[in-house]
């Protein structure tokens, strides 16, 4: 089968379209005929091996252990291991897998996992395309876990989403509205209309105005972009508000700016506000929660652009620029 492969860490030009063996399918695995795959920072980190601490997490110190890249997937179950009871051949599924940038990929049929595990899939929402479904798993699960689990979001709260136009942010704005929050999105000028169309009550253009200088205070801040300091972010929080740090572009080669996530729990012990880093996990329960919202018309993936499989390097290079409108997706 055709797959986008890498034999060393580096920028997108390490990727090669190659003929590889079909993936092995264990007793607990499903084999998916891939129809679309998601593009996002999680793929970029494993392609580049940056920040370097990623390599210490079992992905390979000098070169990547997994040859086929990609994680978020949408496709059709083509075969199943003997212990799989949840899926039938022909089921349309979405979720995470091993090596999504390929004609076929295998995924675990378990219900929970994290980065580097065999992945988690669920039945795909029936009312969206495979491309839209492939945009959902990592980004929407991250937004959901950030708002609900780490953020404890409640109806009536004021919620600030920084990076509201991005992969995580476009889901976060819509999800925060489903929880009954008043939502303010932060993005650049050309995306103000997009963020408003997703349901944000207010939109702040960060190229013209600093949200922390407005004198407004939010019960919950979900920070996905800009890598502003903890002190800066705390200025826009209510005295007992919660900051959830999802991520941010840039940072040095070793930690990739992860210092804020390390400092947040330390500072949190000495201030009345809650400052929390987020590490999202793959959960079938969350995929099914998102599926219900999508089928109910309350959540719609925003697709920036689609690419062919042989354009995966361009897709990842474009995504690395960090100024997308929602998600980039690969059609297989």
Ligand X SMILES: NC(=O)c1ccc[n+]([C@@H]2O[C@H](COP(=O)([O-])OP(=O)(O)OC[C@H]3O[C@@H](n4cnc5c(N)ncnc54)[C@H](OP(=O)(O)O)[C@@H]3O)[C@@H](O)[C@H]2O)c1
The footprint of ligand X (CB under 6 A) covers 40-42, 138-139, 142, 162-163, 165-169, 186-188, 191, 206, 224-226, 246-249, 278-280, 322-324
User: 89 burial class (0-12, 13-18, 19+ CB within 10 angstroms)?
Assistant: exposed
CB of 210 to ligand X, least distance (A): 10
| Other beta carbons within 10 Å of 129 | 18
CB of 321 to ligand X, least distance (A): 8
Pairwise CA distance, residues 188 & 270, whole Å: 33
CB of 219 to ligand X, least distance (A): 19
Pairwise CA distance, residues 190 & 94, whole Å: 31
CB of 164 to ligand X, least distance (A): 7
Give me the residue label for tokens 């992969």.
Answer: 167
Instruction: Considering the complex, state which of residue 224 and residue 300 has its C-beta at the smaller distance from ligand X.
Output: 224
Instruction: Considering the complex, state which of residue 32 and residue 168 has its C-beta at the smaller distance from ligand X.
Output: 168
Instruction: Considering the complex, state which of residue 108 and residue 167 has its C-beta at the smaller distance from ligand X.
Output: 167
**Could you tell me how many helices (H) and strands (E) the chain has, helices first?**
9, 17
DSSP class of 124: P
- Given a contact cutoff of 8 angstroms between Cβ atoms, the answer to whether 121 and 109 are in contact is yes
CB of 41 to ligand X, least distance (A): 3
DSSP string, 210-228: -GGGS---EEEEEE-SS--
Instruction: Considering the complex, state which of residue 31 and residue 159 has its C-beta at the smaller distance from ligand X.
Output: 159
Instruction: Considering the complex, state which of residue 109 and residue 302 has its C-beta at the smaller distance from ligand X.
Output: 302
């Amino acid at each position: 089968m055709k797959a986008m492969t890498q034999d060393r860490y580096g920028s997108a030009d390490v990727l090669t379209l190659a003929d590889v063996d079909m993936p092995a399918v264990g007793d607990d695995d499903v084999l998916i005929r891939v129809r679309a795959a998601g593009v996002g920072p999680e793929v970029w980190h494993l392609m580049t091996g940056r920040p370097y601490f990623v390599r210490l997490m079992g992905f390979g110190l000098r070169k990547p252990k997994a040859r086929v890249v990609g994680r978020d997937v949408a496709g059709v179950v083509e075969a199943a291991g003997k212990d799989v009871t949840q899926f039938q051949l022909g089921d349309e599924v979405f979720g995470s897998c091993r090596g999504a940038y390929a004609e076929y990929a295998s995924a675990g049929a378990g219900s929970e996992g994290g980065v580097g595990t065999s992945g988690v899939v669920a039945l795909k929402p029936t009312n969206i395309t495979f491309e839209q479904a492939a945009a959902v798993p990592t980004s929407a699960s991250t937004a959901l876990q950030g708002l609900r689990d780490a953020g404890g979001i409640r109806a009536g709260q004021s919620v600030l989403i920084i990076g509201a136009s991005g992969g995580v942010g476009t889901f976060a704005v819509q999800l925060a509205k489903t929880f009954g929050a008043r939502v303010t999105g932060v993005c650049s000028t050309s995306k103000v209309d997009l963020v408003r169309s997703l349901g944000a009550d207010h939109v702040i253009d960060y190229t013209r105005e600093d949200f922390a200088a407005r004198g407004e205070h939010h019960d919950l801040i979900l920070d996905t972009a800009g890598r502003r300091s903890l002190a800066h972010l705390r200025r826009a929080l209510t005295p007992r508000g919660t900051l959830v740090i999802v991520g941010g572009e840039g940072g040095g080669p070793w930690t990739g700016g992860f210092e804020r996530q390390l400092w947040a729990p330390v500072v949190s012990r000495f201030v009345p506000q809650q400052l929390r880093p987020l590490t999202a996990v793959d959960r079938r329960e969350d995929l099914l929660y998102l599926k219900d919202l999508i089928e109910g018309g309350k959540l719609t993936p925003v697709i920036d652009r689609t690419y062919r499989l042989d354009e995966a390097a361009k897709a990842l290079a474009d995504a690395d620029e960090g100024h997308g409108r929602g998600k980039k997706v690969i059609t297989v």
